[in-house]
Amino acid sequence: MRALVSCIALLALCFSVFAQEIQPRVIRFGYGLDEQSNQGRAVQFFAEQVAKNSSGRLRLRAIGAAALGPDVQMQQALIRGSQEMMVGSTATLVGISQEMALWDTPFLFSSAAEADAILDGPIGRKIMDRLQEKGLVGLVYWENGFRNLTTDTRPVRKLEDFNGLRLRVMQNEIYLKSFNLLGANATPLPFSELFPALESKLVDGQENPYNTILSSRFFEVQKYLSITNHVYSPWVMLASKKWWDQLSADEQKVLRDAAVASRDHERAYSRKESVKAVAMLKDKGMLVNELPAREIERMRERLCSIHLLIASNVGKEIWQETQAALGQLRGRKPGNGNIANLAASSGRGQTDSPGGAPCR
Ligand code: KDG
């Protein structure tokens, strides 16, 4: 009997300690896409994990469709501490942490497996950790996906078809310069203004992963889908450092564990949905074409100078580490030629761009 009483007392103590370490909290979690998008569904999954792992004490108030403002506005709200969490594009973070520009590199990854390995490995973690000095805590990367072009005026079949195309891009220097270099007239706009800009013909086209093209109903205002897979775009889950630092270790562990579970769930779900999305876009009446390998090669070569810009933005160490890591993933010995050396040299000579195509 005495053993039973002491066991119950011990359990009560454990529970009370647990209870003390997990306070009842409401977490305002903002995101830009619709509730029914792959992003919105992943936020719901994260919310369920957090509630389950905290016995209902930590509750997410998920606020989608950019109701709390575009990515850049939510990022500032997190830094101020007036919003607790968000998920958004890494591309809109480069104004705060320039190392995030690595993920804007055209043709950096040639598969989702490569992306996962680099993003979840030491390089991705190092870049994520740089956010702390800016007032943000990066938790995990989710998959936005490989980006492809949609247009309403004409399909893009070859490099020359970019000429004069009024293309919306994210509010990001690399995207702006990349598409201008390809011959387009790039117009930076927040995601929340994209559909009206397409509908009013302010722009001819845009570029996003298949899931976003489908869930944001761009097929209603875009006739053509031209498959380029020109960059792999991650999302990043962020917390306000002001808020995060006053959480207990137990509360931080609940959120970190739920974030990792949501990352794996979101990637698997997004990839499954992405395979179906192209067929669904065709059913919605979009005319789909795939650029031939030669034209993709011409795009890569035209964008080599962007690799130099990114190498200088993110720093030689991160750039070289990325190239070496990708080389190993692709079964290549670490090359001695690389963009950073090219940047330091007279700019001539051949080097491997991470996408494998040589930049001359
Ligand atoms: O809030 C929207 C962002 O999370 C992301 O979807 C951005 O891919 C993006 C775009 O094209 O703006």
Residue 169 CA, closest ligand 1 atom number = 11
Tens digits of per-residue pLDDT, 191-247? Answer: 999 999 999 999 999 999 999 999 999 999 999 999 999 999 999 999 999 999 999
Residue 360 predicted with pLDDT over 50? no
Q: What CA–CA distance (Å, rounded) separates 22 from 27?
A: 13
Least confident stretch, 5-14, 33-42, 215-224, 309-318: 5-14
pLDDT confidence band for 35 (50 / 70 / 90): very high
Q: Find residue 142's DSSP bridge partners.
A: 235
pLDDT of residue 2: 75
In the reported structure, the alpha carbon of residue 231 is separated from the centroid of ligand 1 by a whole-number distance in angstroms of: 13
User: For the residues 86-93, what does the mean pLDDT come to?
Assistant: 97
Atom number of ligand 1 nearest to Cα 206: 11
Q: Is there an atom of ligand 1 within 6 Å of 338 CB?
A: no
Edge-to-edge strand ranges of the sheet holding 58-63: 58-63, 25-30, 85-89, 232-240, 136-146
Of 82-96, 188-202, 309-323, 327-341, which gets the smallest average pLDDT?
A: 327-341
Residues 167, 203 contacting (CB under 8 angstroms): yes
Pocket test for ligand 1, best of 92, 193, 215, 266 (most atoms within 8 A of CB): 92
Please give the number of the atom of ligand 1 that sits closest to the Cα of 208: 11
Among protein residues, the one whose CA lies closest to atom 1 of ligand 1: 32
pLDDT at 357 over 60: no
Rounded-to-integer distance, Cα 165 and Cα 156, Å: 9
By mean pLDDT, which of 49-58, 188-197, 338-347 is the weakest?
A: 338-347
Summary mean pLDDT of the chain: 91
The residue written with tokens 């690799």 in the block is: 307
Find out whether the beta carbon of 144 lies less than 6 Å from any atom of ligand 1: yes
**pLDDT-based confidence at residue 334 (cuts at 50, 70, 90):** low
233 lines ligand 1 (CB under 6 A): yes
Q: Is the CB of 250 under 6 A from ligand 1?
A: no
pTM recorded for the entire structure: 0.89
Cα-to-centroid distance, 336 and ligand 1 (Å): 36
**Could you tell me how many residues make up the chain?**
360
pLDDT of residue 350: 32
Tell me: pLDDT of 14 over 80.
no
Residue 235 near ligand 1, beta carbon < 6 Å:
yes
Strand partners, 206: 150
User: What separation in Å is there between the alpha carbon of 158 and the centre of ligand 1?
Assistant: 26
Walk me through the domains of the chain, giving residue ranges and CATH numbers.
21-143+234-278 (3.40.190.170), 315-354 (no CATH)
> Could you tell me the distance, in angstroms and rounded to a whole number, from the CA of residue 218 to the centre of ligand 1?
14
The reply to whether ligand 1 has any atom less than 6 angstroms from the CB of 208 is yes
Residue 308 has pLDDT above 70, yes or no: yes
Residue 274 near residue 214, CB atoms below 8 Å:
no
Q: Phi/psi at 202 (nearest 5 deg)?
A: -60, -35
The rounded Å distance from CA 149 to ligand 1 centre is 14
